[in-house]
Structure 1
Amino acid sequence: MPKPPAKTARRKKPPRLSPAEQARIAEIFHRFESLESDPRTELEYKDAYTLVVAVALSAQATDVSVNKATAKLFEVADTPEAMLALGEHGLKPFISSIGLFNTKAKNVIAMARILVEQYGGRVPLDRAALQALPGVGRKTASVVLNELRVEPAIAVDTHVFRVSHRLGLSTGKTPDAVELELMGKIPEPLLTRAHHWLILHGRYTCIARRPKCEECPVADLCPSRHLFIGR
């Protein structure tokens, strides 16, 4: 059954924020920018195709585990044609260390077949077409489009969800709700990089159990710091 049409990326009408709150949010991201001006995914890739495969494989898996698997995989299959020739049976040994590898192998091969048959072996960098590929949902498409600087998008994973709430950037209860709030609140010139800043902050500083508030560059701007400092 074909997937329903993908939702187009939206920039929500900015909420009515006080000047002080606008300044606080801008300062948070300007501080992130001062630490890393051009943040990128930690997944290793060569081009749009290897990026979309790596992101699809990373669902419920760490970037480290995916990079270990794709380092060998992309040596033998770094194009849709080569992946299709490898086949599902041939692909599985390369990604067997990654969670849900059976389903992912099926999707990667199905994706390769569509890219070869319908797109001449090229990855369509249109959100609707990208999200229609097997194994590619809204979050995966957002990561790809944002990483390639095609579209300012924010993929809300567990890190972005957690950090957004702790920093008072969102009160949304679902990833889609958080995405809409962030797209409306973050200054537009910073949107293409905000996704990675939030992920990196959540991965290395604002970690789940015991955030490193004493090392946090935006601790003084965080409304949640009193919950953790001094614990």
Structure 2
Amino acid sequence: MNSATRQELFACLKTVNPNPTTELEYQSSFELLIAVLLSAQATDKSVNLATRKLFAVADTPRKMLMLGEERLLDFIKSIGLFKTKAKNILATCRILEQQYNGEVPRTREQLEQLPGVGRKTANVVLNTAFGEPTIAVDTHIFRVANRTGLARGKSVLEVELKLLKVVPKAYRHDAHHWLILHGRYVCKARKPECNRCVIYHLCEYKDKTA
């Protein structure tokens, strides 16, 4: 895919969704961090159902620690891997309190040192909470990037690094959200809905459904 086609691709995505953002509900960088930690192998909808009640009583690291593991488990037990996630959340909150005065750090290196936080989670927080032009490649973005020809790669990291090189600068900040939403609702894994795809005419996927 050449640069002109990439430019047109993102222009089309912007036309249908001028201000894309995460579907996770949050009011602060801390709430976003916790929501993203909970979202691994879980839907945003299930996370939001849990965090609406959780954040009403624990919206800071200190309050989360005061809640304790047993009560935290009650709030998130409907989410997959909830026991492991609870331990990671509380361990992360201790570090935030002890090392960062209760604030979420703003560098990738610091974020990735928090329990349960990998590169993808760090990228989401950096982009959505702090406005950094990062791209968090999940299964949806990996699929869309490879299918369309936008940035083909055999690994998540390879696709991420390619996207950072080829996405036009004007679209880089929002690229993550456009691609994940497109993969979630249009370019689906089993059967992409090509009949309602705004970038159909630009896509290089050989097995289009329409």
TM bucket by the smaller chain? over 0.9
Q: Compute the displacement of 1:109 (Å).
A: 0.3
Please list the CA deviations of residues 58-86 of structure 1 after superposition, one character each: whole Å capped at 9, or x if unmatched: 01100000000101100110100000001
Deviations 1:162-205 (A, max 9, x none): 00011101221110000011111110121100000000000111
Aligned to 1:138: 119
- How far apart are the structure 2 equivalents of 1:78 and 1:88? 15
TM-score by length of 2: 0.97
- What SS does the aligned partner of 1:102 have? helix
Say whether residues 1:203 and 2:191 are aligned partners. Answer: no
- Partner secondary structure for residue 192 of structure 1: helix
Aligned to 2:207: 227
One-letter amino acid matched to 1:160: I
Which of the residues 15, 26, 42 maps onto 1:34?
A: 15
Match of 1:48 in 2: 29
- CA distance in 2 between counterparts of 1:227 and 1:48 reads 40
Q: Is this contact kept in 2: 1:125–1:150, CA < 8 A?
A: no
Instruction: Give me the whole-angstrom Cα distance separating, in 2, the residues matched to 1:64 and 1:57.
Output: 11
The answer to whether residue 160 in structure 2 is matched with residue 160 in structure 1 is: no
Return 5+ residue gaps in structure 1 as ranges.
1-16
Instruction: Specify the code of the residue in structure 2 equivalent to 1:97.
Output: S
Contact 2:32 2:129 in 1 (8 A): no
Q: Distance in 2 between matches of 1:59 and 1:114?
A: 21
Distance 1:170 1:119 in 2: 36
Residue 102 (structure 1) aligned with residue 83 (structure 2): yes
Q: Which amino acid aligns with 1:78?
A: D
CA–CA separation in structure 1 for the residues paired with 2:4 and 2:130: 26
Corresponding position of 1:8: none
Q: CA deviation at 1:151?
A: 1.4
For the residues of structure 1 that align with 2:98 and 2:107, how far apart are their CA atoms? 17
1:113-148 CA-partner distances (Å, limit 9, x unpaired): 111111111111121111111111110010011112
Unaligned runs of 5+ in 2: none
TM-score by length of 1: 0.88
Map Cα deviations across residues 43-69 of structure 1 (whole Å, 9 max, x no partner): 000100000000010011000000001
Post-superposition CA distance 1:3-49 (Å, at most 9, x none): xxxxxxxxxxxxxx7xxx11101100011111112211000001000
- Output the CA distance in 1 between the equivalents of 2:129 and 2:73: 27
RMSD of aligned C-alpha atoms?
1.1
Measured against aligned partners, the alpha-carbon deviations of 1:208-227 in whole angstroms (never above 9, x if no partner) come to: 11111110001010111x51
Which residue of 79, 99, 105 corresponds with 2:60?
Answer: 79
Structure 1 distance, partners of 2:198, 2:153, is 24
The structure 1 residue matched to 2:103, chosen from 115, 122, 147, is 122
CA–CA separation in structure 2 for the residues paired with 1:132 and 1:150 = 20
Which range moves more in the overlay, 165-174 or 106-115? 165-174
> Is contact 1:149–1:192 with CA below 8 Å preserved after alignment?
no
In structure 2, distance between residues paired with 1:163 and 1:44: 24
**What's the CA shift for 1:149?**
4.1
- On the 8 A contact 1:163/1:198 being kept in 2, the answer is yes
